[in-house]
Amino acid sequence: MTNMWPELVTEATDFSTSVLDKCADQDWLRPAGELEWSCYQTISHLSQAVFGYAGLLIAQPVDRWIGLRISVDDGTPPELAVEGLHIGGTLLASTIRTTGPEVRAFHPWGTADAAGFGAMGVLEVLLHSRDIAQTFGVEQPLPDELCRPTVERLFPDAPSGFRPAETLLWCTGRAALPGLGRQTDWRWYADVR
């Protein structure tokens, strides 16, 4: 399953940067969607995630984060912050592509392989770009073809019978599902399966 993740990370990054490009002329000091973070803080977190996941796969620590932190400073023009996301997503996809199936690395929610970090990257990119876009009224439905494998990889107990995008939003506390209230305490499971 690792082989599909470089393409999925690339597709998620392309989708998200195209959505965020529509927001580049806005005030990114505003809160991102329902988050407490500003749009700048959110894209900074997002950049840290995709660069960090690539770094974890390269360094392969078993019990710690890596020391590298990539961030976006407040005041950075939004189009350059979006460019940074594109760079980070490309780096993560390339790293996954060249990582052997035996490689494992630390994440506090489970020791993961390249597929796990790919799924985490797709999740981060899709959800946080959605958080930012919501602030500016840019509604773009998440692609089911990206959400399905992400839910399958990270949420083994996810409910069935719903669109993958709706399920991902429910799994991450961003929406309710019919008959299932919105989650207030959630996590994904990165462990190799």
Domain membership of residue 34 (yes or no) is yes
Tell me the average pLDDT across 115-131. 98
Domain membership of residue 10 (yes or no) is yes
Q: With a cut of 60, say whether residue 153 has pLDDT above it.
A: yes
**Nearest by Cα to 126 from 172, 189, 83:** 172
Query: Contacts from 28-35 at CB under 8 Å and sequence distance 24+?
Result: 28/78, 28/81, 28/132, 29/74, 30/135, 31/135, 32/128, 32/131, 32/132, 32/134, 32/135, 33/130, 33/131, 33/132, 33/133, 33/134, 33/135, 34/131, 34/134, 34/174, 35/131
Instruction: Specify whether the CB–CB gap between 46 and 128 falls below 8 A.
Output: yes
Domain membership of residue 103 (yes or no) is yes
Q: With a cut of 70, say whether residue 2 has pLDDT above it.
A: no
What pLDDT is attached to residue 171?
98
Instruction: Specify whether the CB–CB gap between 118 and 12 falls below 8 A.
Output: no
Tell me the average pLDDT across 163-174. 98
Q: Which domain holds residue 130?
A: 2-171
Tell how many helices (H) and how many strands (E) occur in the chain. 6, 0
**Nearest by Cα to 134 from 12, 41, 35, 49:** 35
> What is the C-alpha separation between 168 and 125, in angstroms, rounded?
13
Tell me the average pLDDT across 163-175. 97
**Nearest by Cα to 129 from 185, 52, 47:** 47
* Residues contacting 61, CB < 8 A, separation 6+: 105, 106
Q: With a cut of 80, say whether residue 73 has pLDDT above it.
A: no
Tell me the average pLDDT across 11-38. 96
- Total structural domains within the chain: 1
Query: What are the tens digits of pLDDT across the range 43-71?
Result: 999 999 999 999 999 999 999 999 888 88
- Average pLDDT score, the chain: 95
Please report, for the domain that includes residue 159, its CATH number. 1.20.120.450
**Nearest by Cα to 153 from 126, 121, 108:** 121
The pLDDT > 70 percentage for the chain reads: 98
> What is the C-alpha separation between 19 and 24, in angstroms, rounded?
9
What pLDDT is attached to residue 70?
85
Domain membership of residue 185 (yes or no) is no
Domain membership of residue 115 (yes or no) is yes
- Confidence label for 72 from pLDDT (cuts 50, 70 and 90): confident
Exposed e or buried b for every residue in 24-61, given b needs 16+ CB within 10 A? eebebeebbbebebbbbbbbbbbbbbbbbbbbbbeeee
Q: With a cut of 70, say whether residue 1 has pLDDT above it.
A: no
What pLDDT is attached to residue 76?
87
What pLDDT is attached to residue 3?
86
- Confidence label for 40 from pLDDT (cuts 50, 70 and 90): very high
Domain membership of residue 186 (yes or no) is no
